[in-house]
Structure 1
Amino acid sequence: MPTPDVSPAAHLIAARGGRVTRARIAVLEILQDSPRSLNHDDVAARLAADGMPHDRVTLYRTLDWLVEQGLAHRIIGPDRARRFKAGGETRSQHAHFHCDRCGHVLCLESIRPEEQFALPAGYQPERAELVFHGTCADCGRQRGTKA
């Protein structure tokens, strides 16, 4: 009997030892397909557009599980909104660029805030966050055309 095609997202979830559910697959695929980081409401809207029933609590838990498993990473913007992006497999820390006009957050994976800094005796850093603020290319082009 032939085996049904299993999506790459389902393989990633199974490889982490997690239950392969429609919600987990759908959310991970949405994050993988998006060039931008997405907040909870963005993911919920895409699930609804795809006809995927969901509730807010399940979506929050699914996003948190994906982060815990290294399948996505969480970015907290200056507006305190949590945004998510697929591809956290390496769990490496990296810098981000936050557009102050549209809220877009871009991962800058080539810039790693892992430098050794001289901290006072007894202080042990657990993570570092480096965020650049400014205007993204799209907003910059829009600003240029309105001049």
Structure 2
Amino acid sequence: MTQLSTEQAARHLLLQTRGRVTPARLGVLSILLDAKTALSHQEIEQAALQQGNAFDRVTLYRALDWLVEQRVAHKIVGTDRAWRYNAQSGSSHQHAHFYCKRCEQVFCLENLQPALLVSLPHGYQVETVELNLQGCCPACAKQA
């Protein structure tokens, strides 16, 4: 996406939450929408600096927490116990994540739905599913 269309998409998602569209929320969500993988706090901070946005750490954490609460982003814990963030379009967070052991990137596999949702006993209501797979991503597999 181009910077302008990414910012427009981010603004649209933020307006749908009926929350305030702050520069930090807009900047962070734009970065997440542009990312091909889930990003750590530090990677988001670096991307913001490259775009000329200097958010202090507290503002960045608050923006990320708010985006997760509003379901326009979700967070994934990596094998290094660091949180990584990815944009989502308001849908529930019920898909698998893939951690590449070589490049250490985390990918959301939106089309890979956990089978347990189909066989869940009567009366249970799922809100969040975390399925983490580990291995080698396609880009790293080509290099090997």
Which residue pairs with 1:29 in the alignment? 30
> Structure 2 CA distance, aligned partners of 1:65 and 1:51?
22
Partner SS state of residue 73, structure 1: strand
- Distance in 2, matches of 1:67 and 1:56, equals 16
What fraction of aligned residue pairs are identical, expressed as a percent? Answer: 46
Residue 133 (1) aligns with residue 134 (2): yes
Q: Name the structure 2 match of 1:86.
A: 87
Shift of 1:128: 3.0
Q: Which amino acid aligns with 2:28?
A: V
Deviations 1:87-141 (A, max 9, x none): 24111411111101111111112222224356xxxx9865432111101112112
1:64-75 correspondence runs (5 A): 64-75=65-76
Secondary structure of the structure 2 residue equivalent to 1:131: strand
Please list every run of 5 or more consecutive structure 2 residues that lacks an aligned counterpart in the other structure.
1-6
Structure 1-normalised TM-score?
Answer: 0.82
Alignment partners' CA distance in 2, 1:48 and 1:63: 16
Partner letter of residue 19 of structure 1? R
Greater share of residues in helix: 2
Q: CA deviation at 1:74?
A: 0.9
Counterparts of 2:127 and 2:34, CA distance in 1: 30
* 8 Å contact from structure 2 (residues 27, 48) kept in 1: yes
User: What value does the CA root-mean-square deviation take over the aligned residues?
Assistant: 2.2
Deviating runs (4+, > 6 A) in structure 1?
Answer: none
- What residue identity is the alignment partner of 2:9? P
Q: Distance in 2 between matches of 1:56 and 1:140?
A: 35
SS in structure 1 of the partner of residue 49 of structure 2? helix
> Unaligned stretches of 5+ in structure 1?
1-5
TM-score for the superposition, normalised by structure 2: 0.83
Q: What displacement does 1:70 show?
A: 1.0
Which segment drifts farther, 109-118 or 48-57?
A: 109-118
